[in-house]
Every structure is written in C-alpha cells, then in structure tokens.
Amino acid sequence: MIGAVGEGERAGMADRDLDEHRADLVALAEGQPADRLPAVRRLLARADARPELRQPVADAISEYLRATGPADGSMLRAASGDDGETEPRRAVLDLLAGRLRPGDSGPWPGISLDLSGTTLVDVDLRGCELAEGRFADTRFVGTASFEGARFDGEALFPRTVFEGDARFDGVRFGAEAVFGRARFRGTAGFAGAEFGGIAWFGRGEETLWEDDPAWEVFEEFSPLPWDEPNETDPRWPVAVLVEDYQDWEEGGDGARFAGPVSFRGARFTGPAWFYKARFGAAADFREVEFAARVHLDQPAVELTGAHWSDEDGEDGYGETYWPLGWAVRPDTGRLVPDDDIRPYARQLADPDPDTRRTGLRLLAELGDTRPELRERVTDALCAYLRTPLPFPVDGDLNPAQAEELRLRREVQQVLAERLRPAAEPYWPETNLWLCGATLVDLDLHGGAGGYAEFVGAQFHGATSFAGCRFARATFDLGGGSGVATFHGPVDLAGSRLGTRPPLVG
C-alpha cells in the first residue's frame, strides 16, 4: 500500500515529519494529478536528505506508475498524452530517474525498480544505475531509452512489448538480462552492451520445479496482448519451463525483432541465448565477443569480426549453435564464413526476392546431396517461415507482399516434398520448428517426420495434413495458451500426429 510507512522510515522522524511524509504518500496514491507532482518533489527531497527513505520512495513511485497505467484500449490516447495521466506519470518517472544518474541530483545507489505490467510512454532511463530492474509484461509506447544504464543485478524484461524504438546501447548488465518473448516492433539497439550473466532472448523464461509453490499460481500471469498481424491468440506467450531432475519442457518462440537490431561490439560474458528468436530484418552481430555458450540460428545474422571463446564449458545450456553458413576458426576463435555452406544460406536473407528464391533452390540442393546437413538446412528454412510478416495475409496485397507469400509457399513446398517417403530425395526423421510461423496454403499430405512444433502458428488458406505421420506434433502450450489458429479448411484424413490440432479460427 502506497500510503504505508515502514519501521525504517519512522526511526528518527519527528511526528510532524512523519505526518507530512505520510500525507505525501497518500497524495501520490490518491490525489489529483496537480497534487501528485508537488508531493513527489517533496518525497524525493526528503529522501535526498535521508538515505533510508530512498528505496521506499522509489517503491511508492513504482507502485503509483503500475496502478495508474492506461488500459489496453487507451493506448493511442496515452501515446498522445491526452488521457490526463500520461504527462504526470512521465514527469514523475523523470524526476525519479534524475536521482538514479551520477552527475544529476543523484545518484541514489542500490535502488531497484519494479515497473512490471504497466504501460510507459517515452521512457528516458539513460545513464541510470540500478540494483535491479523488473519490467515483465510492460508495454513501452514511443521510444524506450536505456543507453548507458547499469543494472548491477537482474534486468527482467520477459514478454515486454516495445511499440517504438528500444535503445540499450552501452548498457551494462551485471547479472541475468532476460528478454524472453519480448516484442521489439521498432529498431532495437544493443551495440556495445555488456552482458555479465546469461543474455536470454529465447523462450521459456519462467522456470519452475514441479514442487515449487509458484506452480499453483503461474496461470494467473496476465501478459499484455501482443496484437501481432496474423495472430488471433494475442495472449499466447504464457509458458513455463517445467524441470524435474534431468528433464524440462518448453514451447513457443523467443524474442521477436520486427525491425533492424544491432548488437555490434557487444560483450557476452555468459551464455547468449537466442533460441527460436525471430528476426524480421537485419541482425548485426559484427565484432561481438562471445565468452560462453551461444544459440543463434537465424540466417539473417551478420557475424563478421565476431569472436568466440567458451571460457565456461560447463554452464549447462547445451551445445553452441551458429547460423548455417558460419563456423569458428579453432586457432583464433573468429567467426568466419563456412565457404562450403555460406553462399547457400546467406541468399535466403537477401532483400531481393529473386535472390532469396535462388538461395532456396541452392539450400534444397545442398540438403539433397549432403544428408548430414539436412536438419541444419531444415532449421534455416523453418527460420525463414518464422520471420515475422508485417502485413495481414488476408488483406489487399501490394506486389511486394504478394511476392513474399509466393516465396513462402515455395519454401513450404520444398520442405513438404522432402518429407514424403515416396518422393526422391526423402529426408527421413526431419524435425520442423515452426512455432509462431505464418503458413499459407500449407500442404504436408503424405509427409512423415520426427517432431513438428506448430505452437502459436497461424495457418491461412487451405491446410492439409492428410495421411501425415509425425512421431509427435504440438499445436499449443496447454492451458489454453499458444493455440495454433486455422483460417481456412483443414484436411486431417488418415493423419497420425501424436496429438490432434485444436481447430480454432
């Protein structure tokens, strides 16, 4: 409760000061916007003189921001500042941020912020120094600026939505930096950032053991809807890693970058985990220093000048995985193009559709002639299909959009033809990782494979699984989240998928 005063705050405070402090807390929680800013200024000034008040005041401001965030339906009004609360909230956060920057009226050392689950407009936390920051399920409208900030402890941004540009250039993350399932809808900048712990841009960011009491409440998580094009299940990112001794399960996709993203010159001391992250544009990892396990599997990634040294080979996060077409020189640790493969893979990331079509043909030929590369080639093709589409596929399409859908159908066809045992060549026991993919007129009739994941995928047009045989296929995360959606007829005649897809759409 914002108006409460703790024992540490009472100690040494005169009754009059205590009454004034409590009154300012109440004004912040319940007063009119015109009363809140003066109350915040007095609270901050009082905390400047009394260090024991600083974290409680920061907590009260954080609680006020969480309690007064706009509802989903008022996003446009919040962005324009005409909802009556946006400007005061922004001013309050700016006043607090000034205490967190060395060289301003601060710093207040060792302060933690918890702004989870709220909506923030044009956030400016540049240069702030925090003990830890929690922004789970937060929606940032406008620009979110964290350049040069420092997090001594955890920096938690799981399922966060960045509506505009996200700037983390030069940030120092002292411990875990968690961006699992975050949505970056503008440009994203992490150039020169330092990651002292695991950098998690993958999936399954909530980890529980079966005997964890939190297991009883995890379904209460209520993330803000993503509202992505071609999705009809906007809350599907809720997922939990379930651990039991040596076994764990997860589902879905990782962070989604709709625009360009740069990690150029970044330093990853801990694992760099981009497992099933989706890149919709250029991904710049040039001159990056990797010092632990890496999982980076998108063909659009540029790694020129990057360096890898697994200084901690026992971190428990599995094998290092590079995009198809890149390899590490054993003598120098430099990431270099794999001359036997890279020309095939890089074309699939080219802006020109004809070049991508050529790359598709060459990749298919590579898999046909080199069986040991078939799963890697399949991963690259699935990664292409998981690339976010910025336009609705069922709307009016311009020529460029229509061409993109034609190319997607061709990628699907290349995969489908190689899953049919009667065809030549046949790629047996192939796994398909199509979580979150947008699939149009998918025809897998007669196909057979290993594991196929369609969690959160969107099926448009006619879909056929007729006669399909997969050892296992998943279409949702369970509990009603991550449901694959079908927007057209579905043929399941004679199929054996290990599970039945939920016919939603």
With the C-alpha atoms ordered 133, 137, 138, 143, is the resulting torsion angle positive or negative? Answer: positive
Q: Give residue 44's pLDDT.
A: 94
| pLDDT above 90 as % of the chain | 52
Q: How confident is the model at residue 18 (pLDDT cuts 50, 70, 90)?
A: confident
Higher pLDDT among residues 208 and 425, named by residue: 425
Cα within 13 Å of Cα(503), Cβ side: 10
What residues form DSSP beta bridges with 283? 261, 301
Sheet harboring 241-244: ordered strands across?
A: 207-209, 241-244, 247-249
Q: What is the rounded distance in angstroms from the CA atom of residue 250 to the CA atom of residue 454?
A: 13
Mean pLDDT value of segment 391-409:
92
Distance, CA of 487 to CA of 505 (rounded, Å): 5
Predicted confidence at residue 1, as pLDDT, reads 45
Q: How confident is the model at residue 435 (pLDDT cuts 50, 70, 90)?
A: confident
Q: Look at residues 299, 286, 419 and name the one whose alpha carbon lies nearest to residue 347.
A: 299
Give the range among 276-285, 336-345, 414-423 with minimum mean pLDDT.
336-345
Beta-carbon neighbour count of residue 197 at 10 Å?
20
- Predicted local distance difference test score (pLDDT) of residue 237: 63
pLDDT confidence of residue 316: 47
In this predicted structure, which of 41-50, 276-285, 408-417, 448-457 has the lowest mean pLDDT? 276-285
How confident is the prediction for the chain on average, in pLDDT?
85
Q: Residue with structure tokens 């004679």?
A: 494
Reported as a single tens digit per residue, the pLDDT across 356-370 is 898 889 889 999 999
Residue 462 sits at φ, ψ, to 5 deg, of -85, 135
Strand partners, 172: 150, 194
Residues 6+ apart with CB under 8 A from 313: none
SS3 label, residue 232: coil
Amino acid at position 495, single letter: S
pLDDT tens-digit readout, 233-278 = 766 666 666 666 545 556 667 898 988 999 999 999 999 999 888 8
How far is the C-alpha of 154 from the C-alpha of 152, rounded, in Å? 7
Greater pLDDT, 10 or 51: 51
When mean pLDDT is compared over 217-226, 288-297, 310-319, the highest value belongs to: 288-297
pLDDT at res. 359: 85
Longest dimension (CA), the chain: 87
pLDDT at position 158 is: 87
* Pair 435, 276: CB distance under 8 Å: yes
Quote the pLDDT of residue 76: 47
User: Tell me: the pLDDT tens digits for 121-169?
Assistant: 999 999 999 999 999 989 999 999 999 999 999 999 988 999 999 999 9
CA–CA gap between residue 289 and residue 294 (Å, rounded): 11
**Per-residue pLDDT tens digits for 369-395:** 999 999 989 988 998 898 888 889 988
pLDDT exceeds cutoff 80 at 95: yes
* pLDDT-derived band at 11, boundaries 50, 70, 90: low
Give me the pLDDT at residue 315, please: 47
190: CB partners within 8 A, 6+ apart? 168, 169, 171, 261, 262, 263, 266
Question: At 429, is the secondary structure helix, strand, or coil?
Answer: coil
- Whether 234 and 222 have beta carbons less than 8 Å apart is answered as no
Q: At what angle do helices 33-49 and 86-99 cross, to 10 degrees?
A: 10
pLDDT of residue 106: 67
Instruction: Give me the pLDDT at residue 368, please.
Output: 94
**Token pair for 158:** 């799981």
* SS3 state at 45: helix
Element containing residue 199 per DSSP (H, E): strand 199-200
Q: What is the pLDDT of residue 6?
A: 59
Cis, bond preceding 425 (omega within 30 deg of 0): yes
User: What is the amino acid identity at position 59?
Assistant: D
Checking if the pLDDT of 17 tops 60, the result is yes
Is residue 341 over pLDDT 90?
no
Q: Is the pLDDT of residue 49 over 70?
A: yes
What confidence score (pLDDT) does residue 345 get? Answer: 64
The vertex-374 CA angle with 372 and 375, nearest 5°, equals: 100
Alpha-carbon distance 122 to 113, whole Å? 17
Residues contacting residue 84 through CB under 8 Å, at least 6 positions apart = 33
pLDDT at position 218 over 70: no
Check residue 195 and give its pLDDT. Answer: 98
What are the structure tokens assigned to 382, written together?
A: 């699935």
SS (H, E, C) 275-315: CCCEECCCEECCCCEECCCEECCCCCEECCCCEECCCCCCC
More confident residue, 223 or 289: 289
DSSP per residue over 79-121, as a string?
A: HHT-SSSHHHHHHHHHHHHHHTSBTTTB--TT-EEE-TT-EEE
The tokens for 186 are 């503008």
Q: Which two tokens stand for residue 120?
A: 């923030």
Name the DSSP class of 351: S
The pLDDT score that the predictor gives to residue 112 is 97
* Residue 274: half-sphere exposure toward Cβ, Cα within 13 Å: 24
Which of 202, 198, 163, 197 lies closest to 179, judged by CA?
202
- List the one residue out of 379, 396, 282, 270 whose CA is nearest residue 323: 379
Closest CA to 469 of 415, 410, 441, 429: 429
The percentage of the chain sitting over the pLDDT mark of 70, rounded to a whole number, equals 82
